[in-house]
Structure 1
Amino acid sequence: MRNQTEMLELFKKQTKEDNRIRLSVLEGSLTNVNIPKDKYQDYDVTFFVTERDSFLVSDSWLVIFGKVVFMQKPEDMTLFPSEFPKMYSYLMYLDDGIKIDLSLVLVEDLPWYLEESDGLVEVLVDKDKLLSDLAPASDKNYWLRKPNQAEFNDCLNEFWHVSAYVAKGLVRGELLFAMDHLHNNIRQELLRMMSWHIGYEQGYDRSLGKNYKFIQNYLSEENWQDFLLTFDLSTKEKMEHSFWHTLSLFQTYSRKVSLELGFDYPNDDEVMISFIETFYLKR
């Protein structure tokens, strides 16, 4: 597997040698000083080009990056349409283990790109000084943010509202329905509440990463293992236990946040737990 220096030099070389490419930038985790570097990171690169049609005639030019063993081109897909119509992207897996997400953007669409950018952008080659005043790459857009009372209330309301869906799915034996709502809804609100607690204790000037992937770094080992218990879904009995444990953890963290930030605490938890136990599912 080629190292980071080799790969970045490859992108720079291609930019310098191809007159159609006026600017190349690196994006994502490789520009983020707060993320540990390892060999598994993708190379997220955008080429700003004078025109795109000549690139799209054939994929053969991609050989400059190595042997492509698998590729996805989002803009050519029907089932999963692209979210960024002003880009044309090649998501490539190479035979030496490298993953490249390469996008082509017209130079004239640079203002749109900057407006959509998350701030994690670093210039590789800028032939025309288009980004001479670009701010240093920063993950500030992903930092934790202190909630207000209304946001706290909404988190509580969403969690307890959807908790009944999970219970109803479990009692009906509709396990996929129940687990979908447990993971995609109430667990997400639990994670949100946990992140607010972490922000209060350790500062909001940090990111917990995509899908909260770094939250483990801010929890004690005991609290991390306690949270992992919500993922034990191998039997219906264990699903029910995970559900009740998720409710219990949410109560714990939401009460902490209420006290830490001086928020009023509605009794939604008591009401909905009583409702679920009375009409749907006993502990």
Structure 2
Amino acid sequence: MRSEQDMMRILLDFASEDDRIRLVTLEGSRTNVNIAPDSFQDYDICYFVTDLPFFKDNDDWLQVFGNRLMMQKPEDMELFPAELGNWFSYLIILEDGNKLDLTLIPIDEVDHYWANSDGLVQVLLDKDGRVTDKVIAADRQYWIQKPTARQFDDCCNEFWMVSTYIVKGLARKEILFAIDHLNEIARPNLLRMMAWAIGSEQGYTFSVGKNYKFIDRYLPPADWDKLMTTYTQSSYDSMWQSLFTCYDLFRKYAGAVANNLGYIYPDYDRTISKYTAEIYDSIK
């Protein structure tokens, strides 16, 4: 695998030598001082260009970055609608194992880019001096946010309401329906509540990472182990147990948030726990 120094040299040399590329930025985890570097980090690069069609019309120029194992062009796919407007991106896995996420942006959209930046950006090349303010990458946008009382109630409402869909799916023997609602809605709200509890105890000056990937650093080991068991979903019995464990964890962490922030823990828990028990008992 080529080193970071080698990759950055290739990316910047190419941009420096092509007059159509006027500005280059680096985004993502490689700009975040709070993320330990490793060989799996993507190179999230933006080229701001004067002639977007020139690059889009032919992929041969991408060969300068190395041989490709696979490439995806999200804005050139039919099944998955494009999301970047006039921008065009390449997600590339190179033969040496490096991953390059390269986005082409029309140079006249540079102001739009900065207005929508998440803060994790470094300027690598600025041929025209367009970036006049000092740019310091920071992950502040991803820090745990203190919930309002309404947000706290909304999270509780969503978790307990969606739990009834999981119960219904299990009772009907529709396990895929139940799994999807647990994975896509219920557990994400449990993780949200856990993060809020962590923030209410340790402050709101850090992030637990994308998809809560660092949350284990802040949870008691026993609770982390319990959370992991909720990913056991290969049978109806294991799904019921996963759901009940989510109930226990949500109850604990929502209670902590309510206590720490002076909020009222709503009655959804009591009513839906009773509802769940009745249905569970009726089919066992």
**Do they fold alike, i.e. is TM over 0.5?**
yes
The structural deviation recorded for 1:276 is 2.0
DSSP-derived class of the 1:97 partner: coil
CA distance in 1, matches of 2:264, 2:244: 24
Q: Which amino acid aligns with 1:202?
A: Q
The residue that corresponds to 1:129 in the other structure is 129
Q: How many pairs are equivalent? A: 282
Q: Does 1:207 align with 2:204?
A: no
- Note the alpha carbon deviations across 1:204-246, whole angstroms, 9 max, x for none: 1111111101101111222211211111112211111111111
Q: Which amino acid aligns with 2:160?
A: W
The residue that corresponds to 2:112 in the other structure is 112
The residue that corresponds to 2:280 in the other structure is 281
- Note the alpha carbon deviations across 1:75-116, whole angstroms, 9 max, x for none: 111111111112111111111001101111111010111122
Q: Greater CA deviation, 267-276 or 187-196?
A: 267-276
The residue that corresponds to 1:168 in the other structure is 168
Q: Does 1:42 align with 2:42?
A: yes
DSSP-derived class of the 2:100 partner: strand
Contact in 1 for aligned 2:20/2:49 (Cα 8 Å): yes
DSSP-derived class of the 1:44 partner: strand
CA distance in 1, matches of 2:229, 2:72: 35
The structural deviation recorded for 1:277 is 2.0
CA distance in 2, matches of 1:220, 1:243: 20
CA distance in 2, matches of 1:243, 1:268: 15
Q: Which amino acid aligns with 2:52?
A: R
Kindly report the root-mean-square deviation, in angstroms, between the aligned alpha carbons of the 2 structures.
1.1
CA distance in 1, matches of 2:200, 2:121: 29
The residue that corresponds to 1:194 in the other structure is 194
Q: TM-score with structure 1 length normalisation?
A: 0.97
The residue that corresponds to 2:62 in the other structure is 62
DSSP-derived class of the 2:2 partner: coil
CA distance in 2, matches of 1:155, 1:227: 18
CA distance in 2, matches of 1:269, 1:55: 55
Q: Does 1:240 align with 2:237?
A: no
Q: Which amino acid aligns with 1:100?
A: L
DSSP-derived class of the 1:281 partner: helix
DSSP-derived class of the 1:123 partner: strand
CA distance in 2, matches of 1:185, 1:53: 40
Q: TM-score with structure 2 length normalisation?
A: 0.97
- Note the alpha carbon deviations across 1:146-190, whole angstroms, 9 max, x for none: 111111111111111111100010011000000100111110110
List alignment gaps of at least 5 residues for structure 1.
Answer: none
List alignment gaps of at least 5 residues for structure 2.
Answer: none
Trace 1:12-31 onto structure 2 (pairs within 5 A): 12-31=12-31
DSSP-derived class of the 2:111 partner: helix
CA distance in 2, matches of 1:241, 1:276: 12
Q: Which amino acid aligns with 1:70?
A: M
CA distance in 1, matches of 2:154, 2:172: 28
Q: Which amino acid aligns with 1:240?
A: W
The residue that corresponds to 1:250 in the other structure is 250
